[in-house]
Structures are given as C-alpha cells and as structure tokens.
Amino acid sequence: MKTKSRILILALLSTLFLSACKDKPKDENTEIITAESAEDPSDDIVTSSLTDKDGKELKMRFNNTKGTATLNFQGETIEMKTERAASGIWYKNDLYELRGKGNDIQLTKDGTVIFEHMDDIQNIEAKNKKGDVLYMTFNNTEGTVKAYLNGGEQIDLVEKKPASGIWYNNDQYALSGKGDSYTLKKDGKIVFQN
C-alpha cells in the first residue's frame, strides 16, 4: 500500500508542478537593458549623423544630462565623456577624442584624425541703392541660409529647386537670386532688392 500511495503522491505533485509552470504569468516588463534603455526618459538626448568627404558616416548620440556621447563609426561603438571646452563640444576617452562646433566635427584616435566633417559655408553681403544691406550665410552642405536685413532679426531659409539661380524660403520669407543680384520678399512683398 505504501508503494501505491507514493506513486499517487508523486503523480499528484508532478501534475501540480507542471500545471504551476504552465500557468505561470509572464513578466511583461522584462526587457534587455542596453545603454539606450537604461537612460532616464527625462534625459536631454540629441542624435546626429555626418558624412565626411570620403563618404564615411559618423553617427552620434549625445546625452546632455549625463555628459556622455555614444558614437558609431565603421562598425565600432565608442563611449566618451564630456570635457570642458572653450566653445563647441569636446568629448574623450582613453583612445578617442571628438571636438567640434556646429556641424564641423573632428574625431581622432590616438591623436590621428580618422573622421572630419566641415560644412561648406559662404558669406555674402549685398547692398542696394537705398543703402539697405542684406547679410547672408549660406550653408551649402545643409542647403540653408541665414539672412539678416540691415543687421535685424535672423531669417532662416531652406533651399528649394529653382529653374535657375538660387531660391530659399520659409513660411514668411523667400530669397531668390542670380549672379550678384538678390531679392528678399516677406509675405510676397519685396523688402530688399539690389
């Protein structure tokens, strides 16, 4: 009788054990912790990607809250900490250093430049007969221009495809030109022409 009881108890325990494993609720909050998922949702994150003259791409992810940068360059992930820079950015670790201002970025490895991106910038000043001055900073890499009429507010414009010459606009302004002649319109009305 003892053998039958033992077999019955073992069978009952096995059934209970298998039922418990089968019906165990899954933890829906389980996730793989990576550098990105470990960040606080309130962190100030900025991502950027640049290409050098040889076509090599540098992907950058800056956590401004924690003062870190994560770079992806030619299949390698590079983690860096921020350093105090006079202006622009400066991040480094034992092997790499990233410095830059705006989109002008330089990445070095053991002191040797391995990536460099410089925007193609062109500054132009146009004057008309009335004495008005239109200052323009063209970023030919990004296809943008920052314009200032008589030193006033900054007008940010984006390049459009013209039939000829140049054409930049935003919701309020349009800048067109050919050669050394420029026309700036605000809400369809000419505000500068030379």
In a domain, 2, yes or no: no
Beta bridge partners of 76: 73
In a domain, 55, yes or no: yes
Lowest mean pLDDT among 2-16, 17-31, 51-65: 17-31
Contact criterion met (CB below 8 Å) for 182 and 134: yes
163: helix, coil or strand? coil
In a domain, 30, yes or no: no
- Which helix (H) or strand (E) segment holds residue 13: the answer is helix 2-22
pTM attached to this predicted model:
0.55
Beta bridge partners of 139: 121, 144
CA-angle at 140, arms to 134 and 142, nearest 5°: 110
Query: 101 with 130, same domain?
Result: no
Parent domain of 86: 45-117
pLDDT of 9 above 90: no
Q: Note the maximum CA span of the chain.
A: 117
Task: Tell which wins on pLDDT, 193 or 27.
Answer: 193
In a domain, 35, yes or no: no
Query: 92 with 130, same domain?
Result: no
Query: 125 with 172, same domain?
Result: yes
Lowest mean pLDDT among 12-21, 54-63, 72-81: 12-21
In a domain, 157, yes or no: yes
In a domain, 187, yes or no: yes
Q: Specify the pLDDT at position 43.
A: 85
- Which helix (H) or strand (E) segment holds residue 41: the answer is none
Q: Rounded to whole angstroms, how far apart are CA atoms 144 and 169? A: 9
Query: 109 with 153, same domain?
Result: no
Q: Residue 179 corresponds to which tokens in the numbers above?
A: 């050669």
Q: Specify the pLDDT at position 42.
A: 82
Domain boundary among 117, 140, 170: 117
How many other C-beta atoms lie within 10 A of the C-beta of residue 165?
12
Domain boundary among 67, 89, 117: 117
- DSSP character for 77? E
Give the total number of structural domains in the chain: 2
Q: What is the CA radius of gyration of the chain?
A: 30
pLDDT of 108 above 60: yes
Query: 127 with 189, same domain?
Result: yes
Q: Residue 161 corresponds to which tokens in the numbers above?
A: 């495809």
In a domain, 28, yes or no: no
Q: Please report which confidence band the pLDDT of residue 27 belongs to, taking 50, 70 and 90 as the band edges.
A: very low
CATH classification of the domain holding 179: 2.40.128
Q: Rounded to whole angstroms, how far apart are CA atoms 158 and 142? A: 9
pLDDT of 58 above 50: yes
Q: Specify the pLDDT at position 41.
A: 78
